[in-house]
Structure 1
Amino acid sequence: MNSLRRWTLFAAALAVSTGSPASAQQPALSSPLSISDMMKIRHLHEVAISPQGDLVAIVVAEPDFASNSYRFELLTVDVASGKKNRIDAGTVTYHPCWSPDGAQLAFVRRTTGFAVSRYDVASGETTDLVTELPAAPSMLKWSPDSVSIGYLCRDAAASRPSESPVDAAVEGAEPIADRLFLYQVSSGKSTTIAEAAGHIDSFAWAPDSRRIALGRQPSARTSDNETDVWLVEVATGACRPLVERPGGDKQPSWSPDGKRIAYFSNDGEAAYFQPYALNVVDVETAEVQSLASAVDAQLTMIVGAPPVWSADGKSVYLTAEKGMTRHVYRLDLTKLECCQLSRELCIHRSCSWTNGRERLAMAIDSPEMPANLYVADAPDFLPRRLLELNPQVAQERLGKATTLRWSGASGAPIEGLLITPADREPDQRVPLIVYLHGGPPSNFLQGFAPEIASSAPQIGFCPVHVLAGRGYAVLCPNPSGSDGYGRAFREAVNGRWGELDLADVLAGVDEAVRIGVADPERLGLTGYCYGAYLSLRALTRTNRFKAAFLGGTFGDLSAVYGQTEVPELFEAYFGGPPWERREAFERCSPMRDAHAIRTPVFLLHARHDKRVPWSQSKELHTILSRVGTPVELVTYPRGDHTVLESRMHAETMRLTATWFDRWLKDSPGPPREADAAIAPP
């Protein structure tokens, strides 16, 4: 089949199955998507296809206001019939993992504590194998011979609370490491292995089950970017380094013949922002081959899942981002050629392959629809929707998503996702909210929630479709410093945060005004973490924005350096600590100019944020209050840098919408009934 024909079929399949504008039949639309509607969305969290490809296990999450969390449900879906079978519901469920024969499914669940459980397909019975774990295992894999189940978890002894009568914490204390445990199926016993390896962040069984490859870190510190590939002998527990060098080397994956291991690597560079490339190492000689030159330089590897070998060992499959898309790619190891398997402007998440690599299951979402379950078969891998989780969304009036392109401050092409109200007239100018992503190394994707890199929950800090339903356009730009456009683009902000990237953003606002979408007198600004920092930089440079909503913001870089869990990030971007790079740290700190801000600002922060201390928002609130600038500060008592409470998600969306209504609309009026309360009516 020629490429044009294949592309056309793929686009047609996606259009019909996602309800995109290309659909032949459009359902009658009811009302704009509300916050209440957002909090009824079910989220496809994980996907695992059986080795034979007949069943797909999925984890679905949905908001639970009674418990102020998300309720997880584990299902299997029959590929032939689409029939669903519920395995586990009402508990927190993670990491479904099939046995090699596809007869059993292991998974992690939490009731009163964490457990590794097993579901038998034939009998329908579920059995807890390992209980009372101190934390949720972060990875779960059967051995190829079905003798053992490996899992990563904190050491139980190290996790026990201190018996000291003084409730004190030691700053800088070593975090509890994740160890590799092996559960023996026959004996029912679980033992740890490779304790000398330190903290383990990933592992992979050799095809003969006799060895395990580890992604090993010296410590469990968040800022520790040093990861090496080690080997451990299952019979003896003896371990040794295979790839040991600066930077990250992680997510090992064995070739079918057991002679090579593919993994993601920083290619020996320890720079915090160094992109990952695919490497292959010979297990016997330890000779490393970097495949960076065989891959498009603009691709950003998704290292949350390991690379996958083809059945014949001649190719490796991987997931990567380019611009605002995320796709599945195949890298031919003989020809050193990389081709994109998936097509269309959509986001491919949580991909899972059968043993023979002839079938792929995946979560796919688009600007018009949250993630649904698809399967695709070789050789063309055209997607077929197997399960639609949120048919009600097709009945809602969503914003219209398009790609906006413009020239950046350096002349480089810049793009962003522009969402406009569905009922906007062609010549109608509407208030524009500029939504800035975190990072700096991050990017907006052409998905239902543009900044959400994982599959669930697809809520996001800024509910773009809710805001579009309230009459706003939303611009989500990928300025200099973003992922998905190559290393030079990513490093363009080194030592000058808030300079070139801010100029790119403001040029995008000018373009939205030029094409007649944005009302230049009604501009808003929002972002979280680095997006909030960049927003703060903008507010100290211009008064063109009439309102700002900032989450987890910061403005004094030296102060944040001294309190954050990732000081190495600042050293990497600025070439050293504040006492060595004082001029750059001070120049890029907007807190020193915060007294000049006249734009009304809403501040949101979690009090236990270890990435960005909430004292930064407190300081900004004090400054703005003293100079008479309208400002509000709301802090949440729980949660770290990421908050996973359903009520808090709903409340954040409500606060965002009402703040912009207050300052960007001539007559905002009372909040809509569906959005007035935290819980849906």
Structure 2
Amino acid sequence: MPAHLPPMGLDDLHRFAVPADPALRPDGGAVAYTLTTTDVAADENRTEIWLAAPGAEPRRLARGSAPRWSPDGRTLAFLRPVDGRPQLHLLPMDGGEPYAVTDAPLGAGPARWSPDGTRIAYAGPAGPAPDLDAPVVVRRLDYKADGSGLLRGVTTHLFVVDVASGESVQVTEGDFHAGEPSWSPDGTRLAFVTDLDADRDLRPGGAAYSVTLPEPLRAPVAGLASEPASEPASGGELERLSGPELLVGGVWWLGGRLVAAALKGGPVGHVRLYALGPDGAAEIETGLDRNVMTGHPGYPGASPALLGDDLVFCARDGGHTHLYRIRGDELAAKIVPEEVGVAGASTAAGRVAYVAATPRSAGDIYLLEPGATTARRLTDHAPAGVDLYVPERRMFTAPDGTEIEGFVWRDANATAPGPLLLDVHGGPHNAWAPVLDAFRVYRQVLAARGWTVLAINPRGSDGYGEAFYTAAVGAWGLADTQDFLAAVDALIAEGVADPERLAVTGYSYGGYMTCWLTGVTGRFKAAVAGGAVTDLTSMSGTSDMGLALKAYECPGDLAAQSPLTHVGEVTAPTLLLHGESDDRCPVGQSEQWFAALRERRVPVELVRYPGASHLFQGGGRPSHRYDYNERMIAWLEQWAGGSRS
């Protein structure tokens, strides 16, 4: 590492500026995007809309998120909180201040402009404001959601706003949740995803529907309201567009074609793209045994889009998330060859704008011109004034011969065996990428202190084919343990890792595997488990996704797959870090592990973060994210970082 630049420190966590959600102006000349930074004094994440263009310095436009251009490129719609509720605002790009165009009692969602630019559709919460002090009566399992908590009868529905007048009309209503809308090319219908099955809480579901908008837009669509509308509406009923064989996660009108991202044959496997039509669904052939990534919190990717007549989408290959295009009858090909992690994309005027992370940047905005194979970087949001440890890609061989990809952060000048941290990703169907992570600063700090950090993608990880993706279904801890230990053993044999100074960490499924590995092997001298899963039986009845976990991810003997079965063998000092409001992996999971270890007098600490949901480690309060990294580093150094005795 060059002497003139210091390594990254804990305080650098607050210096990250992370772009997301790029929106390319219809003429292709500029990109609006969201930039998230840290306000340390207020202990909050600050989100702003910025504009980047070739040959110009990026500039701030407004406070807010989710930028969306009008079809003529003269107006930018975005979300900004008003009295704590997100409301749609419009920013005239030829001059003027942004102004609110919605006053939704429970808030609005990201804008979807109609093709003619006269209306905006969005999916947002509907119904009366819930009484937070009233008893909560539940009759189905889907009564809560991580990040939202108890839903209290609030559902998500579609609204359409007349841009000129600001009049907003709810166009779906009922006991279901409507997903993000997509306009038909003629502007008369909205396509979206929902599940209308009365027992939808008992099995995963989702189908593509469309609704014909009433004309004029005065009342909810006839037949969808729980009470008769005051005036009759001219719209139609919901029309189902996909069959029961598909579990649809998203639907988009792309030109004259309706494209869905869906699973076929079950809720665990690769998402594929389908063209929906009167004769049913036809899979869009990509030639890839890879998972289509449409982008979700904690998971990179982007919605499919058109680039001229070509279909553009994201898929994960190994640890990287790439942009692909399908041109005519050709199979999918990568748009750019660089090894990056794409986390948002937009197309217009033959151009592609995207956000991508690299080993030295947690994200920057890139623009690919027509006919080019190399994209132009429009921003430089990488941390300045520090040098970074760039991970080395490694391949390891499991005992059964399976090849496992991993990434190693280590000082290139280190020669002696040192402490090793095995870092396990969540999911389990996520995957580590060899890019700079705005949350996991501990990797850089530990590498500077003589540690080696090993992040591998074991069986169950995304990016290596569907057979690999599903290889640990029903066998958590049973099919994947060998992959972790084989990689650790390889680094010990190479003289990289000291076998007496091994530690393990992970979040969510990574927290599960942290607890599992310390229970089935005594090799680890320290453990840090975040958002852990320790008892699959209690998890199945308390998590907002508990039944799906029990029925599809871990069918069979839950005790045999639970770390709690092996807690009596744990000797590793363990730090448990958990969000108090985590509904995905409820805090009781860590409570059980903490109680069991304390009873056996194994050194253990439980840290509970007030108000924090499952994803707080990436998007929660800055003080919580800092504390998470700081406590982890201190715990690892205390129990596994010292010199070999």
When normalised by structure 2's length, the TM-score is 0.89
Give the AA of the match of 1:129.
V
Distance in 2, Cα, partners of 1:623 & 1:224? 33
Is 1:495 equivalent to 2:474 in the alignment?
yes
Give the alignment of 1:258-273 within 5 angstroms: 258=256, 260-267=257-264, 269=265, 271-273=266-268
Aligned to 2:423: 435
Give the alignment of 1:572-651 within 5 angstroms: 572-575=552-555, 581=556, 584-643=557-616, 644-651=620-627
Give the alignment of 1:385-404 within 5 angstroms: 385-392=377-384, 395-404=385-394
Q: Larger deviation: 165-174 or 401-410? A: 165-174
Aligned to 1:296: 288
Distance in 1, Cα, partners of 2:444 & 2:196? 43
Aligned to 1:20: none
Q: Larger deviation: 297-306 or 323-332? A: 297-306
Q: 3-state DSSP class of the match of 1:243? A: coil
Is 1:30 equivalent to 2:5 in the alignment?
yes
Q: 3-state DSSP class of the match of 1:654? A: helix
Distance in 2, Cα, partners of 1:494 & 1:391? 39
Question: What displacement does 1:446 show?
Answer: 2.1
Distance in 1, Cα, partners of 2:532 & 2:634? 20
Distance 1:145 1:563, change over 3 A: same
Aligned to 1:231: 210
Question: What displacement does 1:28 show?
Answer: 6.4
Is 1:160 equivalent to 2:130 in the alignment?
yes
Q: Does structure 2 conserve the Cα–Cα contact (< 8 Å) formed by 1:254 and 1:309? A: no
Question: What displacement does 1:402 show?
Answer: 0.6
Give the alignment of 1:443-592 within 5 angstroms: 443-449=431-437, 458-460=438-440, 463-566=442-545, 567-575=547-555, 581=556, 584-592=557-565
Q: How far does the alpha carbon of each residue in 1:156-187 deviate from its partner, in whole angstroms, 9 at most, with x for none?
A: x333326xx75556474754221111110122
- Which of 351, 358, 363 aligns to 1:359? It is 351
- Which of 348, 351, 369 aligns to 2:361? It is 369
Is 1:278 equivalent to 2:273 in the alignment?
yes
Aligned to 1:23: none
Distance in 2, Cα, partners of 1:243 & 1:594? 46
Aligned to 2:157: 179
Q: 3-state DSSP class of the match of 2:311? A: strand
Aligned to 1:678: none
Give the AA of the match of 1:287.
G
Distance in 2, Cα, partners of 1:28 & 1:133? 56
Q: How far does the alpha carbon of each residue in 1:583-640 deviate from its partner, in whole angstroms, 9 at most, with x for none?
A: x212112212212211111111122221122122122112211222111111122112
Distance in 2, Cα, partners of 1:469 & 1:237? 63
Is 1:74 equivalent to 2:49 in the alignment?
yes
Is 1:338 equivalent to 2:328 in the alignment?
no
Distance in 2, Cα, partners of 1:274 & 1:158? 38
Aligned to 2:148: none
Give the alignment of 1:236-255 within 5 angstroms: 236-238=234-236, 239-255=238-254
- Which of 21, 32, 49 aligns to 2:24? It is 49
Q: Does structure 2 conserve the Cα–Cα contact (< 8 Å) formed by 1:225 and 1:247? A: no
Give the AA of the match of 1:345.
E
Distance 1:374 1:555, change over 3 A: same
**Unaligned runs of at least 5 residues, structure 1:** 1-25, 450-457, 576-580, 669-681
Distance 1:185 1:27, change over 3 A: farther
Distance in 2, Cα, partners of 1:148 & 1:296? 38
Matched-pair identity in %: 27
Distance in 2, Cα, partners of 1:609 & 1:141? 31
Distance 1:518 1:609, change over 3 A: same
Question: What displacement does 1:80 show?
Answer: 3.3
Q: Does structure 2 conserve the Cα–Cα contact (< 8 Å) formed by 1:364 and 1:372? A: yes
Aligned to 1:87: 61
- Which of 303, 314, 331 aligns to 1:306? It is 303
Q: Larger deviation: 504-513 or 324-333? A: 324-333
Distance in 2, Cα, partners of 1:559 & 1:197? 28
Q: 3-state DSSP class of the match of 1:131? A: coil
Q: Does structure 1 conserve the Cα–Cα contact (< 8 Å) formed by 2:20 and 2:343? A: no
Distance in 2, Cα, partners of 1:124 & 1:481? 51
Give the AA of the match of 1:472.
W
Give the AA of the match of 2:275.
V
Q: 3-state DSSP class of the match of 1:88? A: strand
Q: How far does the alpha carbon of each residue in 1:199-241 deviate from its partner, in whole angstroms, 9 at most, with x for none?
A: 1112211122122211223389898631111122123331311
Give the alignment of 1:640-679 within 5 angstroms: 640-643=613-616, 644-666=620-642
Distance in 2, Cα, partners of 1:300 & 1:573? 19
Question: What displacement does 1:439 show?
Answer: 1.3
Q: Does structure 1 conserve the Cα–Cα contact (< 8 Å) formed by 2:323 and 2:342? A: yes
Distance in 2, Cα, partners of 1:142 & 1:469? 48
Q: 3-state DSSP class of the match of 1:208? A: coil
Distance 1:197 1:169, change over 3 A: closer
Q: How far does the alpha carbon of each residue in 1:559-605 deviate from its partner, in whole angstroms, 9 at most, with x for none?
A: 11121111212210233xxxxx3xx2121122122122111111111
Aligned to 1:215: 193
Distance 1:538 1:365, change over 3 A: same
Give the AA of the match of 1:254.
W
When normalised by structure 1's length, the TM-score is 0.84
